[in-house]
Amino acid sequence: MRYPNINKMREVIKKDRGFDVVVIVSSNGNSRYWNWRLSATRNEVLSPKTKIICTEENWEGGAGQLLGTLYAFQEANKIMNLKKLLKNGGTVAFYHTAGYGKRMAPLCGTEGNNKPAVKLPKPIKIEGGNTLLAMLEAVLLSTQRYAKSREGRVCVFWGDQVIIPSRLMKRETRLPAEIFGIKQKFIPSPKEWRKNWQNYGILIPKKDKGVLQREKLTWKEVKKLQERGYITPDSKGRIELIKSMGCFSIDFPLLVALLKEFSKELELKKRKLDTDEHLWMPLTSTKREYIEKGGSIIYWKRIKRFKTRYLKRERKIMIVGVKNLGDKTLWWDYGNLANYYKNIMILLEKSDQGRAGREFYELEKYFTKKAKKNSLKIKNSILINSEIGKGDIKNSIIINAKVKRIKTNKAIIVNTNTKYINSKSVLIYNLNEEKGVRALPNEVITDIIASEGTKIRMRTSLLRDSKKDWKIRLPQNPFSYSEIERCLARLANGAFRFKL
């Protein structure tokens, strides 16, 4: 299968048809970096007309996607009159990147506490220097096409997920809220549910073209929804459900209503509210269901009153709709080490997904099926800007590396300089080692530069959960990830030092 949306994503940049404004919501200390970086890479990932606004979350304990978006809008509106822009049919997109990046540790540390700056395999030039496309930049490139047909709306995206739709990306609902999702046929079995559905927010289509939002349902909860008549076959006997991407768009009247409804929270900056749990679910759930999922009856009643007032004022019959991106949509989540490794290794596959990935990152010219150059054997691998002396490379992606001797299989090696590497199924990132590297299977190795001349070697495994390890000093590491984070945070606007 071909993915024509990939070429259209680039056309949007060339034809200057992206969003009028993009707002980057970053962690404290990273806004200066993104102002510089995106100004330097705009021709790669943004339309020439697009204005860039970088804000910092500045909210103790995190605001959540709902309050985080509303707060970022208020802050960005102080810099540029976004309300006027939206009233006049302009387009605005928000990209959430704030947070410690715990699931990506220790890679976020090597980028200066800046997870969305972790690199992906596409070489680009900045200010005359060679570098790689950052995670956030890949997301920006993949989402500019949503601007068309969403005049007067605000789009909201995560900064660590690249989505390649298999259907047209134009808006298909005139409802105030539009949640992006993947509509697929559902085979009602516990095994199928646990494998392909249980870890996602679920949108259940209604006969009136609205949707019900439900968060990460167990099979028992699915059966209960079937018994209550919420999940039913269509006229052809099929059951179709929608996986939520966690991304959405809302129109200007709904945005204004939400800013008013949550004005107290925005003033005090004390609460954490997410869109799925604290907006879409109470908007589309009965009181009984919301309480069964652990929700507050007081909060449900509050959203119920908000919904009633809004529908009456705007003369609408419902608020939440869905945009089906297509059942063959590709979804590359780079938000944790295991997914980062898995979704980069996809680029070596002979599948439709592998070909689409190489097309998106423009890697076909670097792809080697089989070759022998002097004492170096290469099979099914991608090599970019690398000097490799001799050895054997299989099923690997090697970028900006200088290695005299190598024997590796299923490896991702980025920005590395060493004498030799002997490894299998590893991730080596930003490493400088004079003697050479022998890595264990599934090992992750990186160097963190804490200050001039200070290098901290950090190791973990692709099989470990870095979020659970956040405060733990693993035996092979001199510090915990949280200690590294605090050290880097003390450096003023630390990420800006890691320009290239």
- Euclidean distance between CA atoms 65 and 277, whole angstroms: 10
Angle between helices 31-45 and 5-14 (to 10 degrees): 100
Q: What is the pLDDT of residue 228?
A: 83
Give the amino acid at 15: K
- Does residue 190 have a cis bond before it (omega within 30 degrees)? no
Q: Where are the domains of the chain?
A: 176-248+269-324, 337-464
The one-letter amino acid at 221: E
If you write DSSP's letter for every residue of 263-296 in order, what string do you get?
Answer: HHHHHHT-----HIIIIIHHHHS-HHHHHHTT--
| pLDDT, tens digit only, all 500 positions of the chain | 889 999 999 999 999 999 999 999 999 889 999 999 999 998 899 999 999 999 999 999 899 999 999 999 999 999 999 999 999 999 999 999 998 999 999 999 999 899 999 999 999 988 878 899 999 999 999 999 999 999 999 999 999 999 999 999 999 888 999 999 999 988 778 888 888 888 888 888 877 667 888 888 888 888 888 888 888 887 777 888 999 999 999 999 999 999 999 999 999 998 999 999 999 999 999 999 899 888 999 999 999 999 999 999 999 999 999 999 999 999 999 999 999 999 999 999 999 999 999 999 999 999 999 999 889 999 999 999 999 999 999 999 999 999 999 999 999 999 999 999 999 999 999 999 999 999 999 999 999 987 766 899 999 999 999 999 999 999 999 999 999 999 888 764 544 555 44
Region of residue 329 (phi > 0: left; psi between -120 and 50: alpha; otherwise: beta):
beta
What pLDDT score does 232 carry?
81
Distance CA 6, CA 144 (A): 11
Cα 465-467-470 angle, rounded to 5 deg = 115
Contact 136, 1 (CB under 8 A): no
For residue 424, the Cα-to-chain-centroid distance in whole angstroms is 27
Pairing of strands 454-461, 443-451: antiparallel
What's residue 492's pLDDT?
A: 47
What sign does the dihedral 226-230-236-238 (CA atoms) show? negative
| Pairing label, strands 201-205, 211-215 | antiparallel
- Distance from C-alpha of 115 to C-alpha of 242, rounded to nearest angstrom: 28
CA distance 428 to 325: 34
Please list, in sequence order, all residues whose beta carbon lies within 8 angstroms of the beta carbon of residue 24, skipping any fewer than 6 positions away. 31, 34, 38, 52, 53, 54, 55, 95, 97, 136, 159
Rounded CA gap, 27 and 90, in Å?
A: 27
Per-residue model confidence (pLDDT) at position 300: 97
Bridge partners (DSSP) of residue 279 are none
Q: What is the DSSP string of 347-409?
A: GG-SSHHHHHHHHHTT-GGGEEEEEEETTEEEEEEEEES-EEEEEEEES-EEEEEEEEEEEEE
Residue pair 94/156 in contact (Cβ under 8 Å)? The answer is yes
Q: What is the pLDDT of residue 479?
A: 96
